[in-house]
Amino acid sequence: MSIAILGGGAFGTALAVAVGKTRPLTLWAREAAPLIKHRESPRLQGVRLPDAVTVTGDLEQALGADTILFSMPMQSLDAFAAPISAPLAGKALVACCKGIDLRSLRGPAAILAQHWPDAIPAILTGPSFAADIAHGLPTALTLACADETTAQTLQDQLSTPSLRLYRTADVTGAELGGALKNVMAIACGAAIGAGMGDSARAAVITRGFAEMTRLAVHLGARAETLTGLSGFGDLVLTCTSEQSRNYRFGLALGRMERFDPDITVEGVKTAEAVTKLATTTGVDMPICQMVHEISGGGTSVAEAIQYLLNRPLKEE
Ligand SMILES: NC(=O)C1=CN([C@@H]2O[C@H](COP(=O)(O)OP(=O)(O)OC[C@H]3O[C@@H](n4cnc5c(N)ncnc54)[C@H](O)[C@@H]3O)[C@@H](O)[C@H]2O)C=CC1
Ligand SMILES: O=C(CO)COP(=O)(O)O
């Protein structure tokens, strides 16, 4: 079973480095030439691709693989998939993006299923910084796929001695956990950046987790999935580490500092998508709504914190 990873950014390259140490695979990148020449991504410097990784700029070649991983930012996925006419029936299509598409309000697996109804959609998500995976540090992730046989095959194909995959059939729960934790990481960064302290961060993590679970269950997820690696696990990692771009973006908001717009921060558009979903579903998502408002600059971090503290008192 051949593997191709589409996307030569930090995460696609990290997966290629880790999995490429155990089996051959193809890495497709939009800007393939420098990656072919230097065997190192500018988004993940200091880590060379193993010899077993074939880098290509030929998308048709990569799409010939049996298992195809999509590792580009969430808001690019739909536009990336749309012009592809290659038949991918029966193939396992694994989304590695964490987010909700702003136009359709769908997660990445649903986007893939919409473009290729005869393929088998899956998602790889959970707590892992690209650099940690690439350096072979111990990491555990969730592989979600509704088809049990495919889930087991993917689990075997993508696990390595340092990268341990757990599987679940709950695709909705896994992808919503990965998407929503980025929004909470921005909120935590903003709280810390504004000098609100570690107790405030603990409150955001805990109430944020309640918010994540509320929306995910409403949309059909199992609550237990949110307590796993793809939900709680990734929430803890991203809300407590300055390695996280979402957390660092929040820190900059809280400190009223500029943040490099070229850095991928998935939580901004996810917060906007969730604010829309909160309106259409009637699910109460106050932290996500505040992250959307502070990210757009319309509300200050101090105002957002006051809003959250002044909401009516209620049972936990
Ligand atoms: N970096 C990390 O530690 C992790 C990232 N992820 C997720 O992986 C996804 C990708 O993130 P990163 O690789 O970190 O981002 P990145 O910013 O490092 O790289 C994004 C890559 O996607 C490419 N790209 C952008 N638009 C494209 C398009 N339309 N067609 C083809 N390629 C396109 C860019 O050229 C770039 O190489 C995100 O959803 C992120 O949340 C998941 C786990 C860990
Ligand atoms: O998803 C991640 C860790 O699991 C990476 O987080 P950032 O996108 O915030 O860097």
Q: Looking at 135, 168, 201, which one is the last position of a domain?
A: 168
* Same-domain status, 52 and 110: yes
Enter the ipTM. Answer: 0.98
Give the tens place of pLDDT for each residue, 223-254.
999 999 999 999 999 999 999 999 999 999 99
Question: pLDDT class for 133, splitting at 50, 70, 90?
Answer: very high
pLDDT one-digit tens code per residue, 174-188: 999 999 999 999 999
- Token pair 């929004």 in the structure block, residue: 183
Instruction: Give the CATH number of the domain where residue 257 resides.
Output: 1.10.1040.10
Q: What is the mean pLDDT of residues 88-98?
A: 98
Residue 76, pLDDT score: 98
Among 147, 168, 189, the domain boundary falls at 168
Does 103 reside within a domain?
yes
Q: Which whole number is the average pLDDT over 52-80?
A: 98
Quote the pLDDT of residue 20: 97
Calculate what percentage of the chain has a pLDDT beyond 70: 100
Smallest CA-to-CA distance from 68 within 138, 129, 137, 116 is with 116
In this structure, what DSSP letter does residue 95 have?
Answer: E
| Helix%, strand%, coil% for the chain, nearest 5 | 50, 10, 35
The Cα 224–Cα 213 span in angstroms is 9
Mean per-residue pLDDT of the chain: 97
Hey, whose CA ends up nearest to atom 8 of ligand 2?
245
185 lies in the same domain as 288: yes
Q: Determine contact, residues 221/280, Cβ cutoff 8 Å.
A: no
Is 315 domain-assigned? no
pTM higher than 0.95 for the full model?
yes
316: in domain: no
What is the model's pLDDT at position 151? 98
Pocket of ligand 1 (CB under 6 A): 7-12, 30, 43, 71-74, 76, 79-80, 96-99, 128-130, 264, 266
Write the CA distances from 101 to 73, 78, 266, integer angstroms: 10, 8, 10
Among 118, 102, 240, 105, residue whose Cα is nearest residue 184: 240
Number of H helices, E strands in the chain: 15, 8
29: domain range? 1-168
Nearest to 215, CA basis, from 156, 274, 175, 162: 274
pLDDT at 285: 98
Whether residues 246 and 212 fall in one domain: yes
Q: Report the C-alpha gap between 95 and 8 in whole angstroms.
A: 14
Catalytic residue among 181, 269, 276, 314: 181
* 73: alpha, beta or left? (left if phi > 0; alpha if psi -120 to 50): beta
Q: What was the pLDDT predicted at 291?
A: 98
Cα of 70 vs centre of ligand 1, distance in Å, is 9
Q: How many domains does the chain have?
A: 2
The pLDDT assigned to 247 comes to 98
For the residues 270-295, what does the mean pLDDT come to?
98
User: Ligand 2, residues 133, 244, 263: which to mutate, most atoms within 8 A of Cβ?
Assistant: 244
Percent of the chain with pLDDT over 90: 98
What mean pLDDT do residues 81-106 have? 97
Determine the 3-state secondary structure of 65 from DSSP: coil
User: pLDDT digit string (tens) for 11-48?
Assistant: 999 999 999 999 999 999 999 999 999 999 999 999 99
**pLDDT at residue 290 in the model:** 98
CATH of the domain at 103: 3.40.50.720
